[in-house]
Structure 1
Amino acid sequence: MKKYLLSLFTLILPFLTFAQETTSQKIDTLFKDYTGWFVDAIFYEIPFTDTFQLPWVLIVLVGGAIYFTIYFKFINFTGFKTALDVVQDKYHDIEKHGADTLYGDSTPNEGENIIETLRDDSAEGEVSHFQALTAALSATVGLGNIAGVAVALSIGGPGATFWMIVAGLLGMASKFAECTLGVKYRDVGEDGTVYGGPMYYLKKGLGEKGKGYGGLGKVLAVLFAIFVIGGSFGGGNMFQANQAAAQFVKLAGIENSNGGLYFGLVMAALVAVVIIGGIKRIASVTEKVVPFMAGIYVLASLIILGANYKYIGDAFMLIYEGAFSGLGIAGGLVGVMIQGIRRGAFSNEAGVGSAAIAHSAVRTKYPASEGIVALLEPFVDTVVICTMTALVIIITNFDGHFMEYGTEITEGVELTATAFDSVIPHFSVVLTIAVILLAFSTMISWSYYGMQGWVYLFGKSKLADLTYKVLFLFFVVVGASISLGAVINFSDAMIFAMVVPNIIGVLLLTPVVKAELNRYLKAIAKKEDAIEDGATDFSDHM
């Protein structure tokens, strides 16, 4: 496969050089003419008053998150400690063999269909809980955490941070629900390859509810597959490559117009090496890259906060006051709330359904175990990393020397770099490296998301697999080479169009999620009770 990909790169290089010089504007105009209606429809803002509008897709995302939070009795908070335990493999033994087999009665559950689950209860899968978490995080922890937060603050002021955190906390329940379903209804091929995500729980899950829902499920599954493919080529690929290339060319001081093209070719080659290996290779990379880059970024943030510890209290006061007053911000309180919730919801993608694809590949007998792990994702992405960015910007901008709240900016990365550079000289170099790594990890995870949608529509064959990967790599180079504003707008709309079929399906399948949660919690309780009574803890021997 590597030989074929190399040959294809050689063939498309002249075309891309030509495209860069002659067709960029034409492509942009063409997409705008034919897809503008779709973009406008997805991001349509409902006018509630003359002073503010609310995007309908945001209402669906936040409304669903609130419902799931209440329905699952605040699993966002009550399941947090359990999530940390699961990531550390505390319950690895029962997830591999079943609580009844190891700590329960003498029923021979091993290798059989357990009657309580009414499904094949094998612990098939390709990655660990931690690998699944980092693979999903690599798709959400990205430029939104660095550039998007700065843009949100420029529009909504410090108070937007509060509502950003609220959106992250609520989104934890959405991630729990959709990722539980992703494992519950996944398909496992004869070679052990896992195929999962909303496409499968929409079709199979709704199909279980009866004829009236079966047809709806199939239609929603196809729509989701189409949207996730479009999103993977655009927002999950071309946008990332474009922004990474721009940062690299700027840092390197490359004036040659082909700088982005060459960067794209190198990036595509690196992406190819990873995605050819499938989710196992992707997970093995993300479990190293994500903690590293997040750790560097958080450490730098902590250094700045430590150097300015006297102002942390004042920063939180600004956040609190701004969250409930909205003084000086367009739209007042509601304007601040919208900016914060929008950034939080759009950053962690809770409710979009994309993360359920990565999480579905986990090795476990209990679907809810991965749902519980998944709820950590919005917490890390939004509550921790986005808040860190916001605090750094607020503290270093007390005198308003590089940003005026209420005045929208367009270059979010540059503003964040300015904030860091004011305390750590030349940190913008490290930030550029972080942007490239973030873009790279986002691309490899979204390649997996898009491929799952592709094989769902076109079949699980080597040809379908190869075709998608070649197209994906082609768009990496295109994204880094030319300006595609309207194309990116369209692909972003495709990503958030995923919300519609996903939220409908998850809402209808919440009783299934609750049943799986209860089953897993009972398994945990059985193990803990048995150990208290003197039974062996098998997790230490596996």
Structure 2
Amino acid sequence: MKWTMSFAFILNILSFNAYATSIDQQINAWLAPVGELFTSIIFYSFNVFSVDIPIIVVWLILAALAFTAYFGFINIKGFKHSCKVIKGDYSNPSDPGEVSHFQALTTALSGTVGLGNIAGVAIAVSIGGPGATFWMMVAGFMGMSTKFLECTLGVKYRHITKQGKVLGGPMYYLKDGLAELGHQKLGKILAVFFAICCVVASLCGSNMLQSNQAYQQFVIAMGGSSSFWADKGWLFGSILAVVIAVVIIGGIKSIAKVTAKVVPLMAGIYLLAALFVLAVNYDAIIPAFALIIKGAFFAEGVVGGMIGVMIQGFKRSTFSSEAGVGAASIAHATASTKEPIREGYVALLEPFIDTVVICTITALVIVITGAYQGVEGIDGVALTSKAFASVIWWFPYLLSIAVLLFAISTMISWAYYGSIAWSFLVGNSKSLDLAYKFVFCMFTILGASTSLDAVIAISDSMFFSMAIANIVGLYMLAPLVKQDLHTYQEKYLTKVST
């Protein structure tokens, strides 16, 4: 199968002009077989009750369950303290780091609160039915514990250069943390593997998909297939690439300043519109929840019933929240704090905001309006747009703005993630860093110019591949974090309670 795909890929290159009549079609001819090849490797599945279950999804969900139990349901018990830290109750301007707790959170959220909440939810509900929403919520809730662990480690093992630049993330806690445990060679191998996956994921997964869906919604707003922009993905991508370049060249401080403003704005716009749709259809909210619960446990004929629905929910939730993937720890490592555990508390809010709140509201809008029914030929963000437009006729125009903000914020965060991973591999060189950012912008153009199927295949594959090394490290390093957690709780939380 793999040889067949590779051969098809070569044929497409050799017969480039014969099969393509536009730039967009040419790019599609190149990427489609690549996406199929990556998917066959990363999403290797086993079959249960006629349902293909990707091993990588099971890998992430089992880890989330294990860490939730291991840390004594920190996702529930730590919620109140997390909010206090975000408010600044424990902030100290003299603490090492580059950005505040809030800026670190918004930077990380800008990498997760994106089109996974709009396009990803629509994909999950259209394939798995309303029941997929329930399993997205469950996975998001459990993912809070995973995010706590990996972001604590991000701060614990970060490096701060003489210039004050922070370098952190799975690359560093895999390399240094495992060396501390006596597994130096394994740590280096896992760190390099993660860094390579992160660079590729930043270029393909969280860049191309965002660019693609922003372009799709823009075309809808501009008049659809008859508009000037209908076959100008490369032009839209070029303009978007310029905007991205202006922000990412300034580094994490520039990115944090932008995300601290853009994330609350875009989330506010989107949630207000969603709440308006729910208010107009308030009498359908309870029946919608009934459909979600029924579909979660009693689905028939939808992707193999309950197991199929569950897998769809888990898969899209993981893509949305990124819990277990490890990338968010790169942003959280830059927070100004002397207490790694404190930033872990901040980080556990991410899956709650991103998946439990925003994804659930999006799914409710899609279910209540019935937009998920009879959606053949409608993909991703177009389905969400259809749901909102059924109540607010002009919403596709507003969604275009929200989607663009979502896309830009996600892309600039992932440009930073990729640049840190890149510097881990090749060293801290300004010229090499600029070279990476230039390539990132080129992939922005590429993403807007290809088909959704090809983009999703590549983005999902590269994105989930990061979790392979990261989860191994998290299992091994969790006892160290648990010790730090006990010390932190005795130092701060015990005093508060007494």
Give the 5 Å matches for 1:14-93. Answer: 28-31=28-31, 36-49=36-49, 51-93=50-92
Q: Secondary structure at the match of 1:90?
A: coil
Residue type at the aligned position of 2:204: G
* Residue number in structure 1 paired with 2:332: 359
Superposition deviation, residue 311 in structure 1: 1.9
8 Å contact 1:147–1:413 — kept in the other structure? Answer: yes
Shift of 1:261: 2.9
CA change 1:483–1:343 in 2 (3 A) is closer
Measured after TM superposition, the shift of residue 92 of structure 1 is: 1.4
Q: Which residue in 2 is equivalent to 1:346?
A: 319
Equivalent residue, structure 2, for 1:160: 132
Partner of 2:3: none
What is the deviation of 1:338? Answer: 1.5
Mapping 1:382-531, distance limit 5 Å: 382-397=355-370, 402-404=371-373, 410-483=378-451, 486=454, 489-525=457-493, 528=496
- Which amino acid in structure 1 is aligned with residue 442 of structure 2? F
Change (3 A) 1:465 1:421: same
Give the 3 Å change call, closer, same or farther, for CA 85–409 of structure 1 in structure 2: farther
Instruction: From the superposition, tell whether residues 464 and 323 of structure 1 become closer, same or farther in structure 2 (CA, over 3 Å).
Output: same
- Displacement of 1:334 in angstroms is 1.4
Match of 1:109 in 2: none
Q: Which residue of 2 aligns with 1:11?
A: none
- Kindly tell me: are residues 165 and 189 of structure 1, through their superposed partners in 2, closer, same or farther at Cα, counting changes over 3 Å? same
Secondary structure class of the residue paired with 1:509: helix
Q: Does the C-alpha gap of structure 1 residues 156 and 39 become closer, same or farther in structure 2, counting only changes over 3 Å?
A: closer
Query: In terms of Rg, which structure is larger?
Result: 1
Q: How does 1:258-407 map to 2 (within 5 A)?
A: 259-397=232-370, 402-404=371-373
The residue aligned with 2:197 is 227
On the 8 A contact 2:132/2:312 being kept in 1, the answer is yes
Structure 1: unaligned runs, 5 residues or longer: 1-19, 98-122, 533-542
C-alpha distance in 2, partners of 1:22/1:258? 8
Match of 1:125 among 75, 78, 97: 97
The answer to whether the 8 Å contact 1:447/1:472 transfers is yes
**462-471 vs 367-376, which moves further:** 462-471
**After the TM superposition, which of the residue ranges 360-369 and 265-274 deviates more from structure 2?**
265-274
Q: How many residues align?
A: 476
The amino acid that maps onto 1:248 is: F
Check the 8 A contact 2:24/2:234 in 1, yes or no.
no
Per-residue deviation, 1:266: 2.1
Shift of 1:233: 0.8
Counterpart of 1:244 in structure 2 is 214
Structure 1: distance between partners of 2:139 and 2:496: 34
Describe the shift of the 1:403–1:484 C-alpha distance in structure 2 as closer, same or farther (beyond 3 A).
closer
The letter of the residue matching 1:386 is C
> 1:371/1:288 Cα in 2 relative to 1: closer, same or farther (>3 Å)?
same
Tell me by how many angstroms 1:28 deviates.
4.6
- Alignment-derived partner of residue 10 in structure 1: none
Seen in structure 2, the aligned counterparts of structure 1 residues 479 and 376 have a Cα distance that, compared at 3 Å, is same
Do the aligned residues in 1 keep the contact of 2:97 with 2:334 (CA within 8 Å)?
yes
TM-score norm. by structure 2 comes to 0.90
In 2, distance between residues paired with 1:249 and 1:313?
A: 34
CA RMSD, 1 decimal: 2.2
Deviation digits for residues 436-474 of structure 1 (CA, Å, limit 9, x no counterpart): 111111110000010011100110121221111111122
Cα gap change, 1:333/1:480 in structure 2, threshold over 3 Å: closer, same or farther? closer
1:118 corresponds to which residue? none
